[in-house]
A and B are shown apart, each in its own frame.
Chain A
Amino acid sequence: EIVLTQSPVTLSLSPGERATLSCRASQSVGSYLAWYQQKPGQAPRLLIYDSSNRATGIPARFSGSGSGTDFTLTINSLEPEDFAVYYCQQRSDWPPITFGQGTRLEIK
């Protein structure tokens, strides 16, 4: 089973700043990595698929990069609505489909 480790666990930033979130896989997942955003009481929302492709309707301030075992989600110029929990998910070697444990992005 591929284990995804996200860092940091919590990230405290102010609106307007840039957020950099990391996801590391226990073995190569190629480019088969997605990112989701989840707000309290809501379902997750797909942001990025296959490492760097923005999902439909996702603002350009969200970008993804990486391949192999190291991936990054970057959010430029944070908006108030961006403060949430972010999860990565791999589809390279499954089952099982696995998620990271999440990074909480909070307002500083």
Chain B
Amino acid sequence: QVQLVESGGGLAKPGGSLRLSCAASGFSFSDYYMSWIRQAPGKGLEWVSYISASGNTIYYAGSVKGRFSISRDNAKNSMLLQLNSLRVEDTAVYFCARDKEPKRSFQTFDYWGQGTVVTVSS
């Protein structure tokens, strides 16, 4: 069955860095566009970044552009999110999510991981 498992969250200081990973299994990872979506404590969902199946096309939310970097390794069935210059407002649960349709951009998410918690505090 489809599984997405995030890791790498933790406590970081403002200005610090973290690297999040999403390990995928149960489907042909290289066929699917993927996203990171976050949820601040007690708040709604915020899309963060999107990467094409090949990794050649990438988009970021304005709030993270220039600070976060998404990438993927299709040979290892994994996706990464590098978080730099962290701010207190980046505190959230970070979910990785799969696009619903294979081999095309659909921007609707049918499988989600359970999330990894990022806390930014001094």
Chain A interface (Cβ within 8 Å of chain B)?
34, 36, 38, 42-46, 49-50, 55-56, 87, 89, 91, 94-102
B residues less than 8 Å from A96 (CB atoms)? 47, 59, 61-62
Give the contact-size bracket for chain B. Answer: 20 to 34
B residues less than 8 Å from A45 (CB atoms)? 112
Decide: B108 and A44 in contact? CB cutoff 8 A. no
A contact patch SS? loop
Decide: B35 and A97 in contact? CB cutoff 8 A. yes
Interchain CA distance A50-B110 in the complex, whole Å: 13
- Select the residue from A42, A87, A89, A97 with max chain B CB neighbours within 10 A: A97
From B107, B110, B112, give the contact of A97 (CB < 8 A): B107
Decide: B109 and A46 in contact? CB cutoff 8 A. yes
Decide: A34 and B108 in contact? CB cutoff 8 A. yes
Decide: A43 and B108 in contact? CB cutoff 8 A. no
The residue in chain B whose Cβ has the minimal distance to the Cβ of A4 is: B44
Interchain CA distance A99-B95 in the complex, whole Å: 14
Beyond A43-B114, A44-B112, 10 additional pairs, beta carbon < 8 A: A36-B109, A43-B115, A44-B109, A46-B100, A50-B108, A56-B110, A96-B61, A97-B35, A97-B107, A102-B44
Decide: A99 and B115 in contact? CB cutoff 8 A. no
Given A96-B61, A96-B62, also A91-B106 (CB < 8 A): yes
A residues less than 8 Å from B106 (CB atoms)? 91
Decide: A99 and B46 in contact? CB cutoff 8 A. yes
Decide: B108 and A46 in contact? CB cutoff 8 A. yes
The residue in chain A whose Cβ has the minimal distance to the Cβ of B101 is: A49
From B44, B107, B110, B112, give the contact of A94 (CB < 8 A): B107
Chain B 11-50 interface residues, beta-carbon cutoff 8 Å to A? 35, 44-47, 50
B residues less than 8 Å from A99 (CB atoms)? 44-47
A residues less than 8 Å from B113 (CB atoms)? 43
Decide: A97 and B50 in contact? CB cutoff 8 A. yes
Decide: B110 and A55 in contact? CB cutoff 8 A. yes
B residues less than 8 Å from A55 (CB atoms)? 100, 110
- Select the residue from B50, B95, B107 with max chain A CB neighbours within 10 A: B107
- Select the residue from A89, A100, A101 with max chain B CB neighbours within 10 A: A89
